[in-house]
Structure 1
Amino acid sequence: MMIGWLLTTEMSVQAQSRPTAHITVDGRQLFELSEAGQFSAENRAGDANLILREAVRSPGGVKVEIVETNQLPVILVNNRHLLTVTQQDTFTGRTKQEQAEIWAQRIREAVKQGQEERRLDYFWRAILVVALSVLGAIALHFLLGWVGRYWLRRLVPREANHPETGAQPKGIELFLQLTLVVVRSLLWIGIAIYITDLFPLTREWSRSIANILWMSLTSPVITIGESSYSVINIIIFISLLFGVLAIAGTLTNLLRSRVLRMTNVSRGVQESIAIAIYYSLIFIGTVLLLQIWGLDISSLAIVASVFGVAIGFGLQGVAKELVSGFVITFERAIEIGDFVQVGEFMGTVERLNARSTYLRTLDDIVVIVPNSRFLDTEVVNWNHQTSACRLVLPIRVAYGVSINTIRSALLEVALKNTDILKKPHPTVWFQGYGEDFLNFQLLVWISKPRKQFQIKSDLYFQIDEILRQKNINIPFPQRSLHLRTGSLPLELSPQLENSLSQLSEGLINLLKSQLHKDSANDANNSSAKTQSEKSDSQ
């Protein structure tokens, strides 16, 4: 099939020397014609292709013969003049008669094949081939997917994305996925071209489209310096660049998991070395690739300056994050596994990237924090240069208990907790006397800052239990109110005294009159009762 698309060596040599046109049968290129006298190559090929198209569609046999006219061989098809073989059509080392015989044989074979392809039995065989080709392409499609996943598991380490290693195999994953997409696309394009090439009616279209695609891919589209590059060249260059990224990522992961983990250096130093080697390999590989590709590095100075301006204006945020990432990596103020607090986020550092840092919070949520946040704001690193951190638990106790008893109870709780370090030893501080409480602080050291809130909660539960066992009360706010009795000296004005005396006399007189009325009523009631008793006795 590729032989039909591409020209033979003879045709290529001829095309380089003079203008030519193709003689085709059902889209198959047989040979090329050159201009002859006043007839151009296109006119000669157009007339010949029309005669061959009518001949291949005829139901009967086709007669191809060579006659000599004016000492020039003439090819006849069904007694019709097809073309005259001139000296311009003849290649070096051949006579005109030999060239005519070669072309006549090609025409016989092409016409015979075209007539056979128009038969019904060939059509059904082609349909069967199409069905088998499609099924085979589907099977190969899924096989490529399985192979891609297999190599992805082989090339990407198992500890990738693990917080202990911080592996970052994104480059190789992307390279394998893009490779799989390209291979699958080429598979289906090839199957489509192969299927359309089976039928005479679609062969010419498929080969025309294939030629257009081939010319589009091979024609120069970019010129850098003295070199020109086509689409295929660019695709190959990008593939090789992804290959450099994949190789750099694989070597870095192997170095991180097989070599650096055997050393006694901290994980932050390991990550710093791995990142430095990763970007160094990418830089060296890219420079070597550009030189092998024929690019003059000095000619890229203008492009580099433009790119620098773009970074200064449009990509300054990204550049800021990259620089911040390098500062954090080489200063080693924050390392993988540290428990840090930056702004409102608190969690364990799982990965240090060039642009961002991954924190796993206490809610088991991964927060991606830009690296510049660690340089612009205050950061609390609970694990910086030491694995121990201190917890302070304020405790208030009511009056009436010995402070030594309270100290012993708190230390007993701290020493029984397995999450508390024995060294430094837990300590109890007596802060002083409050209004209605004794103020203490329990100081303990832990090695797992991520569990600090859980450890605090456990300690408070245990402290409450032991205080209840020892009858030690937890104070609550109290207030006492004392009332005092006695006479108060008052000074009144004469007018107020007269008014009060008159008011009191009036009240006294009113009470007296009311008492006389009540006594008179009682007397009347008693006499009436006596008379009623006498009448009852009678």
Structure 2
Amino acid sequence: MKEILNTKIIEIGEYVLRLQNLLSFVIFLVIVIAVYYSIKRLIFRSKTLQTSMKYTVSKLLQYIIIFLSFIISLKLLGFNISVLLAGSAALLVGVGFGLQNIFNDFISGIILLLDGTLKVGDIIEVNGKIYKVLEISFRYTIVLGRDENYIILPNSSLTSNTVINWTHSEVASRFKITVGVDYSSDVQKVMRILKEVAAGHAKVLSKPEPFVRFEDYADSALIFGVYFYTDEVFRVENIKSEIRIQIYKAFKENGINIPFPQRVIHFSKDADQKDSNQ
């Protein structure tokens, strides 16, 4: 039996792969896969962890197991790890310079997964654009834009730039719609209509309730701000559009005009007399 296990399968220079090495590697691989999926199943069955945290823990576990399994597998297959590392030190330095951006993304991915500031399902704003986080890996994050396009963001761009996380806390997000009306409008009536329209939308939260502010005297209009809260952060532009349509209808029904820019020009009498004399 011992002779069979010591049977040489591959022999290249000083390296020899024996049957016992191959069997040990296969058995180790089967055990690792079984253990990983068992632990993963337990993680996703947990009732104490949130869904996003289950994903984070599962990803970290996956990468740790892959790294450790790779090192152990080399040893089981008969490779001298210390010799390999020493012989490839110069190569690793050169590769390191070439892959420094990838390494930066890799470290950024670890930070994102560990600190929990960014989770799967979060709605984020990067460089003025809104995205929904679909997947976080060690090198990149896959997000969905409002145009239904899938975008791959390097993790380093998320850790080095300012990122607004609209769903980081359980507090509902507040949004605003700006409306201008004619100077002849009844201010109290306008504010009442705006609040009723906002409150009547199905996806606007009743608590905190929407409110209206009289914000400014513009050149051609009285400016009001309609503030409302909603949990539908990713599709809030659709909600704003629907509210604007209802505001337009309500104003039309109540005889309230939305003005366009106007200019009033006054002529002095002296200027008119000079023109007539000429």
Say whether the fold is shared (TM-score over 0.5).
yes
How far the C-alpha of 1:271 sits from its partner, in A, is 2.6
Contact 1:268 1:329 in 2 (8 A): no
How far did 1:396 drift? Answer: 0.5
More contact order relative to length (CA 8 Å, sep ≥ 6): 2
Shift of 1:400: 1.7
Residues 399 and 424 of structure 1, relative CA distance in 2, 3 Å threshold: same
Structure 1 position 223 matched with structure 2 position 14: yes
2:237 aligned partner: 453
Change (3 A) 1:485 1:287: closer
Does the Cα contact within 8 Å between 2:17 and 2:77 map onto a contact in 1?
no
SS state of the match for residue 240, structure 2? helix
Residues 302 and 236 (structure 1), Cα distance of their counterparts in 2 relative to 1, 3 Å cut: farther
Counterpart residue number, 1:433: 217
Which of 99, 103, 106 matches 1:319? 103
Distance 1:387-1:266 versus aligned 2 partners, 3 A rule: farther
Q: Distance in 2 between matches of 1:392 and 1:374?
A: 26
* Residue-by-residue CA offset, 1:10-35 (whole Å, 9 max, x unaligned): xxxxxxxxxxxxxxxxxxxxxxxxxx
In 1, distance between residues paired with 2:76 and 2:25? 14
Q: Secondary structure at the match of 1:336?
A: coil
* Matches of 2:91 and 2:34, distance apart in 1: 26
**Unmatched 5+ stretches in structure 2:** 1-7
Aligned to 2:201: 417
Report the Cα distance in structure 1 between the residues aligned to 2:151 and 2:24, rounded to whole angstroms: 36
Q: How does 1:508-519 map to 2 (within 5 A)?
A: none
The aligned counterpart of 2:253 is 469
Task: Pick closer, same or farther for the CA change 1:461–1:332 going to 2, 3 Å.
Answer: same
Aligned counterparts of 2:34 and 2:189: Cα–Cα separation in 1: 67
Query: Whose helix fraction is larger, Structure 1's or Structure 2's?
Result: 1
Aligned to 2:149: 365
> Paired residues, what number?
269
Question: Counterpart in 2 of 1:396?
Answer: 180
- Runs of 5+ consecutive residues of structure 1 not aligned to the other structure: 1-216, 489-538
**Residue 254 (1) aligns with residue 41 (2):** yes
Q: Distance in 2 between the 1:318 and 1:436 partners?
A: 54
Check conservation: 2:21, 2:77, Cα contact below 8 A.
no
- Change beyond 3 A, Cα 1:271–1:303: farther
Deviation at 1:342, TM superposition (A): 2.2
- 2:161 alignment counterpart: 377
Task: Report the Cα distance in structure 1 between the residues aligned to 2:226 and 2:166, rounded to whole angstroms.
Answer: 19
TM-aligned CA distance change 1:256 to 1:291, over 3 Å: same
Shift in Å, 1:245 = 6.7
- Compared CA separation, residues 432 and 314, structure 1 to 2 (3 A): closer
1:355 maps onto 2:146 in alignment: no
Please tell me whether the aligned partners of residues 432 and 439 of structure 1 are also in contact (alpha carbons under 8 angstroms). yes
RMSD: 3.3
Aligned-partner Cα distance in 2 for 1:306–1:243: 34
**Residues of 2 paired with 1:272 and 1:304: CA distance?**
33
Cα distance in 1 for partners of 2:80, 2:161 equals: 44
Q: What is the Cα deviation at residue 298 of structure 1? A: 4.3
CA distance in 2: counterparts of 1:460 and 1:303, whole angstroms: 68
Matches within 5 A, 1:130-149: none
| Matches for 1:32-51 after TM superposition, within 5 Å | none
1:49-448 residue pairs with structure 2 within 5 A?
Answer: 218-221=9-12, 223=14, 228-229=16-17, 243=30, 246-247=33-34, 250-251=37-38, 253-259=40-46, 262-263=47-48, 265-295=49-79, 297-303=81-87, 305-306=89-90, 308-343=92-127, 345-386=129-170, 388-448=172-232
Q: 1:472 to 1:314 in 2, by over 3 A?
A: same
Deviation string, structure 1 residues 418-457 (Cα, Å, up to 9, x no partner): 1111222212111122222111101111101111110000
- Partners of 1:234 and 1:392 lie apart in 2 by 67
Identity between Structure 1 and Structure 2 (%): 25
Partner SS for 1:383: coil
Could you state the TM-score of these two structures normalised by the residue count of structure 2? 0.82
Alignment check: 8 A CA contact 1:311 1:319 kept: no
What is the DSSP-based 3-state SS (H/G/I as helix, E as strand, rest coil) of the residue aligned with 2:141? strand
In 1, Cα distance between equivalents of 2:67 and 2:43: 19
Q: Any idea what SS the aligned residue of 2:263 has?
A: coil
Instruction: Using structure 1 for the length normalisation, give the TM-score.
Output: 0.45
User: In the aligned structure 1, how far is the partner of 2:88 from the partner of 2:38?
Assistant: 28
Aligned equivalents of 1:422 and 1:271: distance in 2? 33
Tell me if structure 1 keeps the 8 A contact 2:22–2:77: no
By percentage of residues, which structure has more strand? 2
Distance 1:478 1:219, change over 3 A: closer
Radius of gyration: which is bigger? 1
Distance change in 2, residues 1:342/1:304 (3 Å):
farther
The answer (yes or no) to whether the contact 2:17–2:78 under 8 Å persists in 1 is no
Change (3 A) 1:266 1:303: farther
